[in-house]
Amino acid sequence: MENWKPKTKLVHAGAKRSQFGELSEAMFLTQGFVYDSPEQAEARFIENTPDEFIYGRYGNPTVRMFEERMMALEGAGDAFGTATGMAAVSGTLFSILRAGDHIVSSKALFGSCLFVIDDILRRWGIEVTLVDGTDLDQWRDAMQPNTKVCFLEAISNPTLEVSDISGVAGIAHAGGALLVVDNVFATPVFQRTLELGADIVVYSATKHIDGQGRCLGGIVLGTKEFIQDTFIPFNKHTGPSMSPFNAWVMLKGLETLALRCEAQADTAQKVVDALRGHEKVARLLFPTDDAHPQCELARRQMTKGGTVISFEVKGGKEAAFRVLNALNIVILSNNLGDAKSLATHPVTTTHKNLAPEARAAAGITDGLIRFSVGLEDADDLIEDWLGALSQA
Ligand SMILES: *Cc1c(COP(=O)(O)O)cnc(C)c1O
């Protein structure tokens, strides 16, 4: 299995069949597990192997199939499925850090990630330094003897800044810290994040992995030692474990993940080509596009530019709202990675709580629109945007 290509792993890795030989992965909707004897129960509580289960909060066969498929794809030693992406991010940080430790994080973060790091961690006596994630000197200068974690989103939301994973990993490791990467925007299809040097990769499976807007989920991937000795003891006692139903939906999502992400990325490139130089568009952001300030780094780290485009409409919020109101196919929603194309206005939704100065510094302007490219025909989407932009 280790030599299989990613698309083969996405369909087959981790699948285990019961005595009935079912074709589709079984959904084990059970809270607990039974034992043949007290001796067997005793043994299982002493040494719990990945194929033996005790209680749903600790693990479940359907969830394990999802974890093993993701481990094979990502090249990780172990993994643990969580209830949401935020349970994966927060559980990772809470399980590593304790009072007196220090974390360095990129400041270009998903709103909830920023709240966990900049608010909750500080409240618990953890020192926090926020840096410009694209500037390796700032990472280097921020390191302290008590730095335990460096955290970043491989591609930031919504301005699609690209962080140099190998560069930051080198700085983290020189200081004895772990690099944790939230890889949602880069997807497991386009970027080999552990091979680039990250120690731990986290996903919101809610996004591309489900990809059809149904379930929440998350996953943490890292070494066997980290997952078993650090993450699981924290998570199994605090409780945000993944539902077996959601794991089953995610397993089905993984079967088509590469097909969907590649089609969405190809369409994204076509939309970028159609919007480039448009008289109503002040700024167009797509990681691998020539005009992106870090396009060389993006091309080095990723096989395609991802499935999200951001662009600034001239005329600020009013113009952006006129464009969004004029869309016929693209739906207004703050989700992303879905089969349906989705657009959002970050300033008034996802990034509403950011201070205006911080928003301006991050380039999140009043005219900015984030577009998550779906599986519709590229020509229809281009026509929808060109028609809407004529209303700007
Ligand atoms: C959506 C998202 C999360 C949180 O995931 P949930 O499943 O909604 O908890 C974390 N990080 C990034 C980059 C995201 O896009």
Question: What would the pLDDT profile of 251-270 be if each residue is shown by its tens digit?
Answer: 999 999 999 999 999 999 99
Q: Tell which atom from ligand 1 comes closest to the C-alpha of 206.
A: 7
Distance 164 CA to ligand 1 centre (A): 21
CB 203 within 8 A of CB 85: yes
Which residue out of 92, 109, 112 has the highest number of ligand 1 atoms within 8 Å of its CB and is therefore the one to mutate? 112
DSSP conformation class of 241: B
Q: Are 279 and 154 found together in one domain?
A: no
Distance 78 CA to ligand 1 centre (A): 21
Q: Are 191 and 322 found together in one domain?
A: no
Distance 46 CA to ligand 1 centre (A): 35
Has residue 89 got a pLDDT over 80?
A: yes
Summary mean pLDDT of the chain: 96
97 pLDDT band, cuts 50/70/90, is very high
CB 154 within 8 A of CB 185: yes
Q: 193 in a domain, yes or no?
A: yes
Tokens of 360: 């301006």
The rounded distance, in Å, linking the Cα atoms of 87 and 333 is 22
Q: Which residues line ligand 1 (CB under 6 A)?
A: 84-86, 89, 110, 112-113, 153, 157, 182, 184, 204, 206-207, 216, 218
User: What CATH number should be reported for the domain holding residue 326?
Assistant: 3.90.1150.10
Average pLDDT for 10-23 = 96
Residue nearest to atom 1 of ligand 1 (CA): 204
Q: 239 in a domain, yes or no?
A: yes
Distance 85 CA to ligand 1 centre (A): 5
Q: 85 in a domain, yes or no?
A: yes
The pLDDT value recorded for residue 324 is 98
Q: Are 166 and 270 found together in one domain?
A: no
Q: Are 149 and 17 found together in one domain?
A: yes
First to last CA, the chain: 52
Q: 274 in a domain, yes or no?
A: yes
1 pLDDT band, cuts 50/70/90, is confident
Q: 1 in a domain, yes or no?
A: no
**CA proximity to 375, closest of 257, 291, 288, 223:** 257
**Residue 102 is which amino acid?**
H
Has residue 48 got a pLDDT over 80?
A: no
Q: Which residue range forms the structural domain that includes residue 335?
A: 258-389
Q: 248 in a domain, yes or no?
A: yes
Q: Are 102 and 237 found together in one domain?
A: yes
Q: Are 222 and 305 found together in one domain?
A: no
The pLDDT value recorded for residue 359 is 86
The pLDDT value recorded for residue 358 is 84
Domain C-terminal end among 255, 278, 307: 255
* 61 or 357, higher pLDDT: 61
Least-confidence region, from 44-58, 68-82, 97-111, 209-223: 44-58
The torsion of the CA quartet 227, 219, 297, 350, rounded to 10 degrees, works out to: -130
Has residue 50 got a pLDDT over 80?
A: no
Q: Are 191 and 245 found together in one domain?
A: yes
Distance 185 CA to ligand 1 centre (A): 10
* 111 or 372, higher pLDDT: 372
Q: Are 355 and 236 found together in one domain?
A: no
DSSP 277-319: T-TTEEEEE-TTSTTSTTHHHHHHHBSS--SEEEEEETTHHHH
pTM of the model: 0.96
Q: Are 130 and 250 found together in one domain?
A: yes
Distance 53 CA to ligand 1 centre (A): 28
Distance 245 CA to ligand 1 centre (A): 19
Q: Are 275 and 346 found together in one domain?
A: yes
**CA proximity to 111, closest of 373, 372, 347:** 347
The per-residue pLDDT for range 181-203, each reduced to its tens digit, is 999 999 999 999 999 999 999 99
Parallel/antiparallel/unpaired status of strands 78-82 and 218-222: antiparallel
The pLDDT value recorded for residue 2 is 79
* 318 or 51, higher pLDDT: 318
Distance 289 CA to ligand 1 centre (A): 24
Q: Are 300 and 382 found together in one domain?
A: yes
Least-confidence region, from 21-25, 60-64, 279-283, 360-364: 360-364
User: What CATH number should be reported for the domain holding residue 154?
Assistant: 3.40.640.10
The pLDDT value recorded for residue 355 is 85
Q: Are 290 and 239 found together in one domain?
A: no
Domain C-terminal end among 210, 228, 255: 255
Average pLDDT for 167-184 = 98
372 pLDDT band, cuts 50/70/90, is very high
Which residue out of 206, 210, 219, 372 has the highest number of ligand 1 atoms within 8 Å of its CB and is therefore the one to mutate? 206
Distances (CA, A) of 61 to 18, 87, 150, 241, 304: 10, 20, 32, 13, 33
Which residue out of 163, 204, 246, 344 has the highest number of ligand 1 atoms within 8 Å of its CB and is therefore the one to mutate? 204
Domain C-terminal end among 231, 255, 279: 255
Overall domain count for the chain: 2
**% of the chain surpassing 70 pLDDT:** 100
